[in-house]
């Protein structure tokens, strides 16, 4: 089983009627619902208002892949929690940054860059082209899929060069964006996925759900270290085996 934890700041859904209509129980519960359909995935959800954002050392040790949705209150995530998430990724936990999580503390720490974008919020169609058809995250997707209404994010995206690019998003205004980017940091795998603005029903889109399910399986740990260590070691004996006593 892949143990997934979904973090949502759970803010817009409480005061914005438009968002509440689309995600009455919160974005985290909508994502949890479709991930829970899978036999090999178990899901836990946490929010900003939980003690330590619900992301204690124990929870992270018991998480294979952490999904992150945040927008208005990135700054309210304690630095200690962001550092803990970053270290868990370096040890091997998978991390999926959704939409405005490009500016979240864990993601910017893991990237080391501004992660800035240009943006426009007027309901453009986004067409996401598969740039890497053999990639595990693109399986089940044809040459492209569409999100009927999405917030536009445009290049230049202030990220390091992705290790693998899976999707390029195109918008009606003619802009393009690296909408699906893969990274490795330490033992951990990271996927950034652009769609997911709160005033549109993006997480009800079957193609978006498919990509997130694929990404969870791709980001699941292969190897996890218990600690991040830097040990002093003795030289190994070298030469023909058996020539040393």
Q: Which residue has the tokens 């040393």?
A: 244
Compute the residue count for the chain.
245
Examine residue 124 and tell whether it contacts Zn ion (CB under 5 A). Answer: no
48 backbone dihedrals φ, ψ, rounded to 5°? -55, -35
95 backbone dihedrals φ, ψ, rounded to 5°? -140, 125
β-strands 118-130, 164-171: how paired? antiparallel
Alpha carbons 59 and 46: distance in angstroms, whole number: 10
DSSP character for 160?
P
Which whole-number Å values give the CA distances from 240 to 131, 221, 233, 237, in the listed order?
A: 48, 37, 21, 9
Alpha carbons 228 and 55: distance in angstroms, whole number: 19
- Using CB under 5 A as the binding rule, the residues of this chain from 132 to 171 that contact Zn ion are 151
Using CB under 5 A as the criterion, what x/- string covers residues 100-119 for binding Zn ion?
Answer: x-------------------
Alpha carbons 73 and 9: distance in angstroms, whole number: 7
Minimum CB distance to Zn ion smaller for 31 or for 41: 31
Q: Residue 156 CB, nearest distance to Zn ion (Å)?
A: 18
- Map residue 86 onto helix, strand or coil: helix
Minimum CB distance to Zn ion smaller for 153 or for 218: 153
Minimum CB distance to Zn ion smaller for 64 or for 126: 126
Stretch that binds Zn ion, among 76-84, 93-101, 172-180, 213-221 (CB under 5 A): 93-101
> Site for Zn ion (CB under 5 A): how many residues?
3
Using CB under 5 A as the criterion, what x/- string covers residues 40-69 for binding Zn ion?
Answer: ------------------------------
β-strands 2-8, 65-69: how paired? parallel
Stretch that binds Zn ion, among 19-27, 96-104, 170-178, 204-212 (CB under 5 A): 96-104
* Residue from 9, 197, 215, 220 in contact with Zn ion (CB under 5 A): 197
Which whole-number Å values give the CA distances from 123 to 92, 130, 131, 179, in the listed order?
A: 37, 22, 24, 16
Stretch that binds Zn ion, among 9-17, 76-84, 192-200, 227-235 (CB under 5 A): 192-200
Minimum CB distance to Zn ion smaller for 70 or for 221: 70
Minimum CB distance to Zn ion smaller for 125 or for 228: 125
Give me the residue whose beta carbon is nearest to Zn ion. Answer: 197
Closest CA to 67 of 225, 199, 224, 196: 196
Q: Residue 49 CB, nearest distance to Zn ion (Å)?
A: 20
Stretch that binds Zn ion, among 12-20, 49-57, 80-88, 197-205 (CB under 5 A): 197-205
* Interface ranges with Zn ion (CB under 5 A): 100, 151, 197
């Amino acid at each position: 089983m892949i143990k997934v934890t979904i973090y949502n700041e759970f803010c817009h859904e409480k005061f914005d009627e438009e968002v509440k209509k689309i995600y009455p129980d919160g974005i985290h519960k909508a994502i949890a619902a479709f991930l829970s359909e899978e036999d090999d995935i178990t899901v836990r959800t946490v929010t900003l208002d939980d003690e330590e954002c619900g992301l204690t050392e124990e929870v992270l040790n018991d998480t294979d892949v952490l999904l992150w949705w945040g927008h208005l209150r990135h700054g309210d995530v304690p630095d200690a929690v962001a550092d803990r998430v970053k270290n868990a990724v370096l040890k091997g936990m998978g991390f999926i940054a959704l939409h405005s999580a490009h500016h979240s503390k864990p993601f910017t720490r893991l990237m080391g860059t501004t992660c800035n974008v240009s943006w426009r919020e007027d309901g453009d169609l986004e067409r996401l082209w598969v740039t890497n058809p053999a990639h595990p995250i693109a399986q089940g997707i044809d040459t492209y899929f569409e999100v009927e209404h999405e917030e536009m994010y445009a290049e230049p995206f202030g990220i390091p060069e992705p290790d693998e690019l899976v999707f390029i998003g195109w918008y009606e205004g003619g802009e393009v964006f690296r909408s699906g980017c893969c990274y490795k940091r330490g033992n951990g795998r990271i996927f950034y996925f652009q769609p997911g603005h709160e005033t549109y029903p993006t997480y009800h889109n079957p193609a978006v759900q498919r990509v997130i399910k694929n990404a969870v399986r791709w980001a699941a740990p292969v190897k996890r270290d218990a600690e991040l260590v830097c040990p002093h070691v003795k030289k190994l004996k070298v030469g023909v085996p058996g020539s040393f006593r």
